[in-house]
Structure 1
Amino acid sequence: MKAESSSAGAKDELSQEGVPETLRQRICRVLKEENVALRIIPVFLYGAIACTARFLALYLRQLGLDAFRVGLILTIRPILGFFCTPMWGFISDRFKIWRFVFIISIIGTMLFGISVIFIPPAEREPCDIAISNLATNLGVSYNYSTTFNQSAYSRAYLNELEKIMVEKKVFEDKTWLYDERGVMVVFWEFMVAITLYELFFAANLSSLDVAIVRELKGNPKFYSKFRSFGSLGWIVGSLLSGGVLQYFRKVFTICGIDFTLTDYRCAFILMACFYVAALPIACTLKYDNIQNDKEYDVKNFVMILIKPENVSVYALAVFVGIVNSFGSYFYWHLENIGASQLLMGTATALRASAEMIWGLFFQSAVLERLGHINLLTLGLLLYAVRFFILGILTNPILILPIECVMGASYFAVWTTLVSYTVHSFPPQFTATCIAFLCSLFHNLGPGIGTVLTGFLIEKYNSTTTCIVYCVSLCCFLVLFRLARWNFTDVQPEKESMNLITDEEHEKDKMRESTQLNGTPTTQVQTPLPTVPKSYNSITKKGSS
């Protein structure tokens, strides 16, 4: 036994040519076998997003932009993403330049993202005009002679303005402080920078998903084990950016009023650092693990896309994206029920941690046991329960376990949608179908939902909005199951689990055998998957 173990250990230390491995060669082999690159790069990409995602609106408001202009800048992002993401996917698949698109998207996102720190703020109004604007906005009478003399009444007047600003919750509003023409210039400069940023960012996450799926060789149920490291990156990016911004948060006295200002440019610098770290890893990724010899035909892609069973799933993706838009107002709701800033940050960290734990240890096993449709159903049920509890919640501390469940359900729904999509399309459409899913889930749904959620909160309140979403989720869930039952002639819990894998894995085995033996092997006729109306029949019709 000792001899066998020692010979095995010696064999492990030999390279394929029989020469002992150096330490460098052994490290490279381990990194390649364990797919370390695909585990690290989600940390950097999602960490970069986390650095600025929560602070862009705050930065714009601090520069003097009003809520309407901030909303326009934030709305342009999902609109551009909805159109640009499928465009990048089509280009990647059509010309087979997946890695080139990924690298270009990282470089473009980094350059145009950090460009916003070079946009100078608008010029400030003279203090007499600024205080006059502030008093008008607050509905307070303004007297120049009493405001800027050295009497005690002057200080009392300014204190009164500060008190009213706190009561009306407009203390962070800086529109009165800056020249209107300068603010308009800043608005258009940010609009151009964010547009160019989003043009390249649209390919970031979908290209990462394509790299992971191709590395898994058509078996995307393990996609969650790689994507979960993105949640780790989100935690790291959020904590790091929050700590740095807290350090650069200073108190300034402007026109006699004390303001706490934050240098949000540090967050964009951190974002650029994350992208710089991700760039060399992206250059090493391989996109050739799935052999793709079939011609790219848009007609075949559309024919698969409009199948009733696929339409129902992508309608679910849009609806969940709409519901997820409540996250933009989540802190608003927590503040209304008395949550502290520490509790809000803890809830966010716990949610991201739950996403990572679920992805690493549970997602693949649960997906294999339940199937795509049943797991999507379970995820929608958990969404409904979460919004119901948020609607009746009075003790904010209870948000912590709720967000743990929400993190797991969000991650389960997204990774299941990715797995379903990859199983439903042939390999030549991998980037296109994933990009299309990203455009629905991350852009179209949130774009609609941001406007809808804002309207509901403005019309009613955040608590009523939670109940509305709970009822809507229950109604949509019933319609979704009815659609699967009426328009789909396959078993929901089994469908699309084996659309591609059997045939493709058989081809992979033949190629590996050919490479090892040097001679082609006899092809074994394997039966097609027992799923009616698979993409194979559609491809044959399109080719004929």
Structure 2
Amino acid sequence: MIVGGIISTTRITHTICGIDVIFSDYRIAFYIFTGCMGLTFISAWFFEFECGRENRNKPVEMDETEENKRIKPAPDVLVAFRLFMSVHYGSWLVCIFFVGVCNGVIWGFLNWHLENIGASQFLIGCAVIINNISEVIMFFVVFPILERIGYFTFMVLGVIGYVARFCVFASLTNPWFVLPVEILQGFTFAGIWGAMIGYLCTVIPGENMATMQGILHGVYWGLGSGSGSMIGGIVTEHFGARVTFWSFAVATVFNLIIFVITQKLAAKPKRKYEEIDN
């Protein structure tokens, strides 16, 4: 919000070929970002970890009587991976890929669309603050909510939240109306992310959680968000931001329908992991 307010004061209008073009000095954002990263580097330098320099040469103590109980061979990673190649569990990865696409579109083109309909950089900064606060709050309360309504129901509500956001973005004429809608960011991003991580914990054994979270990050941030930015850019260039948001609202509805049908009709495959008797 502070950076947006500063940038708003730098706006100047130039007339090019008879057309008034508004310019803002966005270099200010990069200068402040660099300063913040410098402060972050200094503070991170003084972090102390449990296995710091003073503990590197200390032998690890283990209760030998408990050793055989605590150490088990890890199940094959491919077993857990193949589990998500089934129709039932694979539909979760497909859904998380698509919401990653949705995030790529929103993060890449919402602010541009808001500025085109008259939003100031201060307003855009306020919108960022609201969605960040909603994310923080949701990360604190998502798991108690999941315990009450379940992972599937929460995922469905989160995808519906994307449909609502896209419809509002496509219909906006007054950019200030985006502020209350940005509250849904916590639900659609932090909530869905927490639901997916929680669901993984119920399906994948603990020994393979790191691998599966890496796959989840790749599907969501790499394939999903990257594809969303690319596809959103192509559609926006040819048809404009409003058509882009309407298109993704419709596509999200189809994704939701397919996800619900798959979850209702596809049976859960049995999870067969090697069990070791103590």
- 1:316 is matched with 95
- Higher relative contact order (Cα pairs below 8 Å, separated by 6+ residues): 2
TM-score computed with the length of structure 2 as normaliser: 0.79
Report how far residue 414 of structure 1 moved. Answer: 0.9
- 2:139 is matched with 359
Pairwise CA RMSD of aligned residues? Answer: 2.8
Note if contact 2:170-2:242 (Cα within 8 Å) is conserved in structure 1.
Answer: yes
Moved more, 344-353 or 400-409: 400-409
Report how far residue 268 of structure 1 moved. Answer: 2.8
CA distance in 1 between counterparts of 2:110 and 2:73 reads 46
TM-score computed with the length of structure 1 as normaliser: 0.42
Against the structure 1 CA distance between its residues 485 and 441, is the aligned structure 2 distance closer, same or farther, given a 3 Å change threshold?
A: same
Report how far residue 170 of structure 1 moved. Answer: 8.4
**1:440 aligned to 212, 219, 230, which one?**
219
- 1:385 is matched with 164
SS of corresponding position for 1:264: helix
Note if contact 1:422-1:433 (Cα within 8 Å) is conserved in structure 2.
Answer: no
Note if contact 1:322-1:450 (Cα within 8 Å) is conserved in structure 2.
Answer: yes
Gaps of 5+ in 1: 1-53, 55-159, 173-248, 250-259, 490-531
Against the structure 1 CA distance between its residues 279 and 316, is the aligned structure 2 distance closer, same or farther, given a 3 Å change threshold?
A: farther
Q: Is 2:28 aligned against 1:277?
A: no
Q: Which has the larger radius of gyration?
A: 1
Q: Describe how 1:267-416 pairs up with structure 2 within 5 A.
A: 267-278=33-44, 281=47, 283-284=49-50, 293-326=72-105, 327-360=107-140, 362-416=141-195
What are the superposed Cα offsets for residues 122-150 of structure 1, whole Å, 9 maximum, x if unpaired? xxxxxxxxxxxxxxxxxxxxxxxxxxxxx
Q: Which amino acid aligns with 1:277?
A: S
- 2:264 is matched with 485
Q: Describe how 1:458-469 pairs up with structure 2 within 5 A.
A: 458-469=237-248
Against the structure 1 CA distance between its residues 312 and 270, is the aligned structure 2 distance closer, same or farther, given a 3 Å change threshold?
A: same
CA distance in 2 between counterparts of 1:168 and 1:450 reads 29
Q: Which amino acid aligns with 1:446?
A: S
Report how far residue 297 of structure 1 moved. Answer: 2.1
CA distance in 2 between counterparts of 1:358 and 1:443 reads 23
Note if contact 2:101-2:226 (Cα within 8 Å) is conserved in structure 1.
Answer: yes
Note if contact 2:134-2:183 (Cα within 8 Å) is conserved in structure 1.
Answer: yes
CA distance in 1 between counterparts of 2:157 and 2:227 reads 24
Q: Describe how 1:454-533 pairs up with structure 2 within 5 A.
A: 454-489=233-268, 533=270
Against the structure 1 CA distance between its residues 437 and 281, is the aligned structure 2 distance closer, same or farther, given a 3 Å change threshold?
A: farther
Aligned pairs, number:
246
Report how far residue 421 of structure 1 moved. Answer: 1.5
Against the structure 1 CA distance between its residues 275 and 423, is the aligned structure 2 distance closer, same or farther, given a 3 Å change threshold?
A: farther
Q: Which amino acid aligns with 2:138?
A: W
CA distance in 1 between counterparts of 2:250 and 2:165 reads 12
How many percent of aligned residue pairs carry the same amino acid? 25
Report how far residue 340 of structure 1 moved. Answer: 1.5
Against the structure 1 CA distance between its residues 420 and 263, is the aligned structure 2 distance closer, same or farther, given a 3 Å change threshold?
A: closer
Q: Which amino acid aligns with 1:369?
A: R
**1:540 aligned to 268, 274, 278, which one?**
274
Report how far residue 483 of structure 1 moved. Answer: 0.8
Q: Which amino acid aligns with 2:240?
A: N
Note if contact 1:292-1:428 (Cα within 8 Å) is conserved in structure 2.
Answer: no
Q: Which amino acid aligns with 1:458?
A: E
- 1:143 is matched with none
Q: Which amino acid aligns with 1:411?
A: A
CA distance in 2 between counterparts of 1:370 and 1:390 reads 28
Note if contact 1:422-1:434 (Cα within 8 Å) is conserved in structure 2.
Answer: no
Q: Which amino acid aligns with 1:344?
A: I
Note if contact 2:96-2:220 (Cα within 8 Å) is conserved in structure 1.
Answer: yes
Against the structure 1 CA distance between its residues 261 and 420, is the aligned structure 2 distance closer, same or farther, given a 3 Å change threshold?
A: closer
Report how far residue 301 of structure 1 moved. Answer: 2.8
Report how far residue 313 of structure 1 moved. Answer: 0.4
Note if contact 1:391-1:466 (Cα within 8 Å) is conserved in structure 2.
Answer: yes
Report how far residue 266 of structure 1 moved. Answer: 4.7
Note if contact 1:391-1:464 (Cα within 8 Å) is conserved in structure 2.
Answer: yes
